[in-house]
């Protein structure tokens, strides 16, 4: 079993791997621009780095991804998104940087030609080396091969000195090597411990948030660094049958009043839902959901108090998601992670908004069935199943840098499972990291607010009596690594969040 841990701990292993790769795959190409390079595999897995610091940087990335896919570069995995200070030539705007893993039938020089054409078509011109550019596309790895010609060197010769390249490169890997190609990429490192050791020698995760590099998520018209503080998402249910507040906010006036109250109490986000997803809830049509949602959404978006706040739509219908975004919603919160509407992932990819992918088995009417409640290791299985949902999202065109993950407390979970999740958020992240460090780094949303398991534990039958128990869960979640907490009672939970954030900041100051 090729695990990164084994690679790091077994001295000399990488050297042997490198010899194996060179012998079996003729990994050194000594070629020239006018010489065709023969590749005997129908497809090669490649890593391509992206950078932009002119114009609308994010739209430059979006356009480049589309053009790559249209040119025979089939993108399978995305890194996180980084905003970085310029290197080498420092008197220029900050960059966005990321990277993708893809498969292609193009040869290495053909691939270079395609990428250069995309750069030219997007307005890049010959200018100052390391200077400003609308898009920069570099081949970091090409299959198991090393390439050296007058115009192309693979692995890219400056990987090892650039944190803004190494960070997204590491995101594309997992802590377990998922194929021989990845194992060979590790062998190209200058260190016996592979790429992981190269990254750690550079400073590793400790560089993020420092040294001019921060991990960001594009939302609304800006870039959100979710590491700065825990965000509070206020719940606004415009339904007659939600378990906690069903029927309270059906009118536009009452819904707006509640949104205004939550914002005044410090909510960073308002999550508007027009369909109940409580256990055994009956589905309503997308049309009926929209009839409930749109008037409230338009009114909330138009509130002066909503300026600077984020509005989320809680739906599993692609039609509702599309209409809500057109009316001003900034992100889509899908309890099914794309499983209840086959068009959801494709539609959200086109909307280019953040997407909350939540873990659930079945649907609200079946999620608490005995079959869906069977777990051997709930944190491990949630992580594995969530990763598969995110993988589907990426293949549908939603980059990892737009993904938020939610382990789904209360959805296809018993009481003990919910407690295991609350105590095991780090375990969930670690298990996801085995497959993708990018998804492991994604913002984590937790929503235990007033749920039934708290009533069972505390003997509180009324949902609105479960706020003290909710605060205990929120405290545990934030200290365990949650980045967003979804709650009904904003005021009291925000106080808990502030104390936890202060403790975490104090801990970090002691470490540094």
Please state, in angstroms and rounded to a whole number, the distance separating the CA atoms of residues 435 and 114.
Answer: 29
Helix axes 467-479, 415-423, angle to 10 degrees: 40
Please state, in angstroms and rounded to a whole number, the distance separating the CA atoms of residues 259 and 490.
Answer: 11
Can you tell me which residue has the tokens 């992670």? Answer: 337
3-class SS of residue 132: coil
How large is the greatest C-alpha to C-alpha distance in the chain, in angstroms?
A: 77
Number of alpha helices (DSSP H) and beta strands (DSSP E) in the chain: 18, 18
Options 144, 146, 450, 451, the catalytic residue: 451
Strand locations in 390-506 (E): 403-406, 445-446, 484-487
- Look up 451 and say whether it is catalytic: yes
Please state, in angstroms and rounded to a whole number, the distance separating the CA atoms of residues 328 and 202.
Answer: 42
Q: Cα–chain-centroid distance for residue 14?
A: 30
Hey, which residues does 131 pair with through a beta bridge? Answer: none
Options 215, 309, 361, 486, the catalytic residue: 486
Q: Which contiguous run of DSSP H or E holds residue 58? A: helix 57-70
Hey, which residues does 78 pair with through a beta bridge? Answer: 100
Are 207 and 163 in contact by the 8 Å Cβ rule? The answer is yes
**Residue 366: Cβ-neighbour burial (10 angstroms; 0-12, 13-18, 19+):** middle
Q: Both tokens of residue 143?
A: 């299959």
Please state, in angstroms and rounded to a whole number, the distance separating the CA atoms of residues 69 and 104.
Answer: 10
| Residues labelled catalytic | 451, 486
């Amino acid at each position: 079993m090729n695990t990164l841990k084994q690679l790091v701990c077994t001295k000399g292993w990488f050297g042997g791997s490198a010899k194996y790769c060179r012998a079996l795959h003729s990994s050194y190409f000594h070629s020239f621009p006018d010489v065709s390079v023969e590749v005997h595999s129908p497809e090669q897995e490649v890593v391509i780095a992206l950078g932009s610091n002119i114009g609308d940087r994010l739209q430059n990335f979006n356009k480049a991804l589309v053009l790559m896919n249209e040119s025979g570069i089939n993108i399978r995995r995305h890194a996180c998104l980084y905003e970085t200070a310029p290197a080498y030539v420092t008197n220029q705007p900050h960059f966005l940087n990321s990277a993708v893993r893809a498969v292609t039938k193009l040869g290495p020089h053909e691939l270079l030609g395609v990428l250069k054409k995309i750069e030219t078509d997007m307005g890049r011109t010959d200018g100052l080396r390391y200077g400003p550019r609308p898009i920069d596309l570099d081949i970091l790895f090409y299959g198991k091969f090393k390439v050296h010609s007058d115009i192309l060197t693979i692995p890219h010769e400056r990987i090892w000195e650039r944190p803004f390249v190494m960070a997204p490169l590491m995101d594309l890997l997992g802590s377990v090597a998922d194929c021989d190609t990845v194992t060979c990429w590790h062998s190209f490192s200058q260190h016996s411990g592979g790429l992981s050791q190269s990254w750690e020698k550079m400073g590793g995760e400790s560089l993020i948030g420092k040294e001019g590099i921060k991990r960001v998520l594009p939302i609304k018209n800006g870039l959100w660094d979710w590491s700065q503080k825990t965000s509070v998402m206020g719940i606004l249910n415009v339904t007659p049958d939600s378990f906690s507040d069903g029927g309270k906010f059906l009118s536009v006036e009452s819904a707006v009043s509640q949104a205004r109250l939550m914002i005044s109490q410090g909510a960073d986000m308002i999550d508007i839902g027009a369909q109940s997803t409580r256990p055994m809830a009956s589905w309503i049509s997308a049309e009926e959901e929209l009839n409930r949602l749109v008037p409230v959404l338009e009114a909330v978006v138009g509130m002066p108090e909503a300026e600077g706040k984020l509005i989320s739509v809680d739906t599993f219908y692609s039609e509702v998601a599309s209409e809500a975004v057109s009316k001003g919603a900034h992100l889509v919160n899908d309890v099914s992670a794309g499983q209840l509407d086959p068009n959801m992932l494709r539609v959200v990819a086109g909307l280019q908004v953040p997407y909350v992918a939540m873990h659930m088995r079945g649907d609200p009417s079946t999620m608490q069935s005995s079959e869906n409640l069977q777990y051997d290791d709930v944190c491990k299985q949630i992580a594995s199943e969530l990763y598969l949902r995110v993988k589907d999202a990426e293949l549908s065109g939603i980059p990892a840098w737009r993904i938020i993950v939610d382990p789904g407390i209360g959805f296809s979970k018993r009481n003990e499972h919910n407690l295991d999740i609350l105590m095991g958020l780090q375990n969930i992240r670690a298990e996801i990291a085995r497959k993708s460090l990018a998804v492991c780094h994604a913002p984590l949303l937790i929503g235990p607010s007033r749920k039934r398991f708290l009533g069972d534990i505390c003997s509180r039958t009324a949902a609105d009596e479960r706020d003290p128990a909710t605060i205990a869960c929120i405290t545990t979640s934030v200290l365990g690594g949650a980045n967003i907490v979804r709650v009904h009672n904003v005021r009291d939970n925000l106080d808990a969040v502030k104390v936890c954030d202060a403790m975490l900041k104090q801990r970090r100051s002691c470490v540094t």
